């Protein structure tokens, strides 16, 4: 196997492997940042995407804007209209796309009712003079993580996730309205209490065979040690947030009731009144119940199966190699049973992987003399889709390189790693 290993390549790889060494020592001391890159920092702003979707800006890396897509993944997206703040209220119509939520016997689907009611809340709040945005304005698959990303980017004064319940069967003379707040957060609790007060009162005017559970009222649902079970509350701490479950869509009479547009408007006005009182008064709310432990969720709200629309065209990045380098590259690719362009892409992902290991030292830009020469006579072209581009430009920014050089750096690292076993002297009489 030809191994091309001039001194400057060794130096280059050594610079990258400093990250590894730092990782190995640091990770024994601390558990590391548990939620690393998936936790987006606030304050880079938010733009409206091609179809009006809200896309929090993660940052600009190597000259390219990276946003959090509706599926909650980082993608390169150069367009978008910046949203002017400040925003008073973010409303979240729960579920969407393949995640229907609860379903009524009349065929009414929770994801659709949630959106219809949210649009009523928006209209009412705007008439009261509040600025409002919705996490989604159409039927859209959006994981919880992205809904929280939007809230963290906008930092509104209140965040309300709108749902309609399923499951209960115990008959009740009163609406089974439930609201949930962030545990040990007085303002979130007050918001949930006001939402319960207004929504419960609005539906108490109707007589239907209601159902309820013990959790009728305003409470916090927890998982050990003492954390909010609902991601939409857990991931938005710092913003007063609440979930409202006005009634039981799974109960046929209640499904019939909420199918009526005027009733959707009544609910919308009740939620808007509660939010307005939250913003403009010190009213305490009511219906409070003690926090309770129930870690189980429906398992929905993840990014699984979520397909983003196209925000950016794929882009081709060319990297040049000398004949010797290309021979090493081909050998390494053959060794791994992969193509050469796969190896180039995987190399960049390996750079990212090393940088994100728990306790990894921050990546620092390479010195000028360490920059890879990426302009040899044998060119390899690699196509990067919008999500892959986000990885490429993040690594380019971190190492202070352009995209062509970053591709070369990743390839150099992988060739080095692929050849490592040949460098290690294994005693021939060792244990088998």
Nearer to Zn ion, 100 or 402 (CB): 100
Q: Does 93 bind Zn ion (CB under 5 A)?
A: no
| Cα 119 to chain centroid, rounded | 23
Cis peptide before 202, with omega less than 30 degrees from 0?
no
Q: Minimum CB separation from Zn ion for residue 293, in Å?
A: 20
Distance CA 34, CA 278 (A): 34
What is the rounded distance in angstroms from the CA atom of residue 46 to the CA atom of residue 50? Answer: 13
Residue 12 burial class via C-beta count within 10 angstroms: exposed 0-12, middle 13-18, buried 19 and up: buried
Binder of Zn ion out of 101, 104, 240, 268 (CB under 5 A): 101
Contact between 68 and 56 (Cβ < 8 Å)? yes
Q: Does 136 bind Zn ion (CB under 5 A)?
A: no
72 binds Zn ion per the rule CB under 5 A: no
- Least CB distance to Zn ion at residue 303 (A): 17
Judge whether 341 and 330 are in contact, CB under 8 Å. no
Backbone angles phi, psi at 145, to 5 degrees: -55, -40
Q: Which is nearer to Zn ion, 94 or 175 (CB)?
A: 94
| Residue 28, phi-psi category: left (phi > 0), alpha (psi -120 to 50), beta (remainder) | alpha
CB of 110 to Zn ion, least distance (A): 5
| Cβ 95 to Zn ion shortest distance, Å | 6
Nearer to Zn ion, 88 or 178 (CB): 178
- The yes or no reply on residue 268 touching Zn ion (CB under 5 A) is no
Name which of residues 332 to 361 contact Zn ion (CB under 5 A). Answer: none
SS3 211: strand
CB of 132 closer than 8 Å to CB of 125: yes
Nearer to Zn ion, 94 or 96 (CB): 94
Strand ranges (DSSP E) for 135-266? 158-165, 171-172, 178-181, 210-211, 217-219, 221-223, 227-228, 241-248
Residue 399: strand, helix, or coil? helix
Q: Which of 94, 143, 175, 301 binds Zn ion (CB under 5 A)?
A: 94
Nearer to Zn ion among residue 73 and residue 264 (C-beta): 264
Query: According to the binding rule CB under 5 A, does residue 221 interact with Zn ion?
Result: no
Residues in contact with Zn ion, total (CB under 5 A)? 3
User: From the CB of 314, what's the least distance to Zn ion, in Å?
Assistant: 36
163 is a contact residue toward Zn ion (CB under 5 A): yes
Q: How far is the CB of 164 from Zn ion (least distance, A)?
A: 7
**Minimum CB distance to Zn ion smaller for 94 or for 347:** 94
111 is a contact residue toward Zn ion (CB under 5 A)? no
Work out how close the CB of 226 gets to Zn ion at its nearest, in angstroms, rounded to a whole number. Answer: 23
227-228 and 221-223 strand pairing:
antiparallel
If binding is defined by CB under 5 A, does position 181 make contact with Zn ion?
A: no
* Interface stretch with Zn ion, choices 73-81, 100-108, 374-382, 402-410 (CB under 5 A): 100-108
Burial bucket for residue 260 (CB in 10 Å: 0-12, 13-18, 19+):
exposed
Strands, E, within 99-211: which ranges?
132-134, 158-165, 171-172, 178-181, 210-211
- Which among 116, 19, 4, 76 has a CA at the least distance from the CA of 317? 76
Q: Which stretch binds Zn ion (CB under 5 A): 27-35, 158-166, 213-221, 398-406?
A: 158-166
Q: Which residue, 163 or 371, is less far from Zn ion as judged by CB?
A: 163
Point out which span in 94-102, 150-158, 182-190, 223-231 binds Zn ion (CB under 5 A): 94-102
Tell me whether residue 180 or residue 384 sits nearer to Zn ion (CB atom): 180
Q: Return residues touching Zn ion (CB under 5 A).
A: 94, 101, 163
């Amino acid at each position: 196997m030809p191994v091309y290993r001039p001194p400057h390549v060794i130096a280059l790889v050594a610079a990258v492997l400093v990250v590894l060494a730092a990782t190995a020592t640091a990770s024994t001391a601390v558990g590391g940042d548990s939620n690393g890159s998936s936790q987006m920092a606030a304050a880079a702003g938010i733009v409206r995407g091609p179809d009006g979707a809200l896309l929090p800006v993660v940052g600009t890396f190597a000259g390219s804007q990276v946003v959090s897509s509706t599926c909650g993944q980082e993608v390169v997206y150069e367009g978008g209209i910046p949203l002017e703040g400040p925003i008073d209220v973010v409303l979240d119509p729960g579920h969407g796309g393949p995640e229907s939520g609860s379903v009524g016997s009349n065929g009414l689907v929770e994801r659709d009712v949630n959106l219809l009611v949210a649009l009523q809340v928006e209209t009412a709040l705007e008439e009261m003079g509040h600025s409002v945005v919705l996490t989604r304005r159409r039927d859209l698959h959006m994981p919880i993580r992205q809904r929280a990303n939007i809230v963290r980017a906008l930092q509104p004064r209140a965040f309300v996730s709108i749902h309609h319940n399923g499951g209960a069967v115990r008959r009740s003379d009163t609406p089974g309205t439930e609201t949930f707040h962030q545990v040990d957060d007085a303002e979130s609790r007050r918001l949930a209490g006001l939402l319960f007060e207004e929504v419960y009162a609005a539906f108490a005017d109707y007589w239907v065979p209601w159902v309820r559970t013990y959790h009728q009222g305003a409470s916090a649902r927890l998982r050990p040690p003492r954390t909010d079970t609902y991601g939409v509350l857990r991931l938005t701490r710092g913003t007063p947030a609440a979930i409202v479950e006005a009634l039981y869509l799974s109960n046929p009479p209640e499904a019939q009731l909420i199918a009526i547009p005027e009733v959707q408007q009544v609910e919308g006005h009740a939620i808007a009144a509660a939010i307005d009182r939250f913003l403009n008064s010190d009213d305490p709310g009511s219906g409070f119940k003690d926090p309770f432990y129930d870690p189980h969720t429906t398992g929905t709200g993840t990014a699984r199966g979520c397909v983003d629309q196209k925000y950016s065209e794929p882009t081709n990045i060319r990297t040049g190699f000398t004949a010797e380098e290309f021979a090493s590259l081909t050998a390494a690719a053959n060794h791994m049973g992969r193509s050469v362009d796969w190896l180039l892409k995987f190399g960049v992902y390996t750079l990212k992987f090393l940088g994100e290991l728990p306790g990894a030292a921050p990546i620092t830009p390479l010195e000028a003399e360490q920059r890879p020469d990426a302009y040899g006579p044998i060119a390899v072209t690699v196509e990067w889709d919008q999500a892959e581009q986000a990885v490429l430009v993040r690594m380019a920014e971190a190492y202070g390189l352009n995209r062509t050089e970053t591709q070369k750096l990743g390839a150099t690292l992988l060739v080095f790693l692929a050849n490592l076993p040949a460098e290690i002297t294994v005693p021939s009489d060792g244990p088998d």
